[in-house]
Copies of this chain bind each other. A is one copy, B any other.
Amino acid sequence: MIDVARSAGVSIATVSAFINGTSNVSAELTRRIEAAISEIGYERNAIARSLKTGATRTVGLMVADIRNPFFTDVVASIQKVLNRAGYAVMLCSNEEDTAMQDEQIKLMLDRMVDGLIIAPAGEDEIMKRLVKSTRKPVVLLDRTCDELDIDAVVLDNAQAVSDATNYLLGLGHRRIGYLSGSSGKSTGRDRLVGYRNALAAAGIAYEPGLVREGNFREADGYRAAMELLTAPERPTALFSANNLMVIGAMRAIRDMGLECPADISVASMDDFPWADVFSPRLTTVAQPVEAIGEQAARLLLERLNGTAPAAPRLLTLHGRLVVRNSCAPIAAGPVSIPA
């Protein structure tokens, strides 16, 4: 910039004013500056600018698992609105691990991002301290966090799972195995609540033996489903608290030589783009992924622009049960024991 100023025979303050449109500069100087810029091939140094202005126009985005199509969709959506607003996004994944999570948050904060959108892997103290002590706006994605009074956008998880459970109940299922997410995450807890609520409303006793906790990964789903399938009294249906675990569950079903839905019904949180072309065509509750991303980005943008109210906002979106053919009706009465 100093070279441009010299070449155009003006001060650097004028060049800066021209570039940023901060104040009027005469036609004559505009011409000379433009000429100098294109001759020199000048490009503004964003680092120096950031140092002076204190903003990087970059936001950090931490998801819980970058390989999970749910998060991928949300990332794409967030990306779109943030880019349109002139922000770049620094992405990372905590791999559903709190230690990793702390590291990643530090990494981003250290890069001086202007704000953060995070899907917490858990509610550990370090992470809480980190987000409480930073002065940058943070919005929670997919999962809330106790003690953190900040913007968040989540699904009405209890309702979503309740809907799915009711559907299974409606088909006559009474022993519904539940592959739960980690109780260390709000999604894990809230979804379980939905299951219990639906059971309670139907007057069915909650049976802890039908619930297995995992950490939302495929391997967890496999293990959990295996335990349920090899138990003395096998459930007639399985509900998985997320998309990755249901794949593990299907693998377990296959390995046990069972057929879905003939031998066991399966339903799950989170939809797949391929769900209605491969068999069994899974019944799922689809999340409004696009909207979740848009809203999270919007909340953050409003904080960054200072157009947000002081009070934290909690946005709750709604899932949609997509019935396909992975659940079969069951004969009335208690569990049918094959002859």
A251 — which chain B residues lie within 8 A by C-beta? 276-277
Given A277-B247, A278-B280, check contact A66 B58 (CB 8 Å): no
Closest to A86 in B: B107
Residues 39-59 of A, flagged 1 when their CB comes within 8 A of B and 0 if not, give 000010111101100001010
24 residue pairs of the A-B complex, CB under 8 angstroms, read A45-B51, A45-B112, A46-B110, A47-B47, A47-B50, A47-B51, A56-B111, A58-B111, A66-B76, A67-B76, A69-B69, A76-B93, A79-B92, A79-B93, A83-B92, A88-B108, A88-B111, A89-B92, A90-B91, A91-B91, A247-B274, A254-B277, A278-B279, A278-B280
A73 — which chain B residues lie within 8 A by C-beta? 67
Residues 55-81 of A, flagged 1 when their CB comes within 8 A of B and 0 if not, give 010100000001101001101100100
Residue A218 interfacial (CB < 8 Å): yes
Residue A209 interfacial (CB < 8 Å): no
Closest to A275 in B: B278
Closest to A243 in B: B274
Residue A127 interfacial (CB < 8 Å): no
| Smallest beta-carbon distance A235→chain B, Å | 19
Residues 258-295 of A, flagged 1 when their CB comes within 8 A of B and 0 if not, give 00000000000000111011111000000000000000
Residue A250 interfacial (CB < 8 Å): yes
Residues 199-230 of A, flagged 1 when their CB comes within 8 A of B and 0 if not, give 00000000000000000001000000000000
Which 9 pairs show the lowest CB-CB distances between chains A and B? A278-B278, A91-B91, A250-B277, A279-B279, A247-B274, A47-B51, A47-B50, A90-B90, A251-B277
Q: State whether A67 touches B69 (Cβ < 8 A).
A: yes
A56 — which chain B residues lie within 8 A by C-beta? 47, 111
Q: State whether A218 touches B67 (Cβ < 8 A).
A: no
| Smallest beta-carbon distance A257→chain B, Å | 13
A253 — which chain B residues lie within 8 A by C-beta? 277
A254 — which chain B residues lie within 8 A by C-beta? 276-277
A278 — which chain B residues lie within 8 A by C-beta? 250, 274, 278-280
Instruction: Identify which of B66, B90, B277 contacts A88 (C-beta below 8 A).
Output: B90
Instruction: Identify which of B67, B89, B103 contacts A72 (C-beta below 8 A).
Output: B67
Instruction: Identify which of B43, B79, B107, B247 contacts A66 (C-beta below 8 A).
Output: B79
| Smallest beta-carbon distance A298→chain B, Å | 19
